Amino acid sequence: MIAALAGLVHATERMLELASAGEWDEVVALESARGPRLRAFFDSLDQDAREQHGDVLRNAIERILELDNKIVSQGEASKAEAVKLLQQNESAKKAAATYQKNNKL
């Protein structure tokens, strides 16, 4: 059980590394695999395991949530940067079109 939980934490840490590197396709692919693993892990825990390993589970959940929040923040920052670049590109296109139009007159 502990090994499976450690694997889930490691997968989340890897997702953060990939997000930091801007490898969003890989983040999405890893999340697609991690999501079902997380659900299966927690669905399979019986009450005894939850009580026996409560502190370990709580710490792992807190760590995963912390990492997930960092990934989301990085995703939002990357999205904002992409929007900014698109807006700059659109402004440049408009300026070029205006320049070309004015030079034809």
Which CATH entry fits the domain spanning 2-104: 1.20.272.10, 1.20.58.380, 1.10.287.1080, 1.10.1670.10? 1.20.58.380
Q: How far is CA 37 from the centre of its chain?
A: 16
pLDDT at 32: 97
> Exposed/middle/buried for 15, CB within 10 Å: 0-12, 13-18, 19+?
buried
DSSP state at residue 21: T
What's the predicted TM-score (pTM) here?
Answer: 0.76
Q: How far is residue 34's CA from residue 105's CA, in Å, rounded to a whole number?
A: 60
Give the domain ranges of the chain. 2-104
Contact yes or no for 30/18 (Cβ under 8 A)? yes
pLDDT digits (tens, 9 = 90+) for 7-62: 999 999 999 999 999 999 999 999 999 999 999 999 999 999 999 999 999 999 99
End-to-end, the C-alpha distance of the chain in Å comes to 75
pLDDT digits (tens, 9 = 90+) for 70-91: 999 999 988 888 778 777 777 6
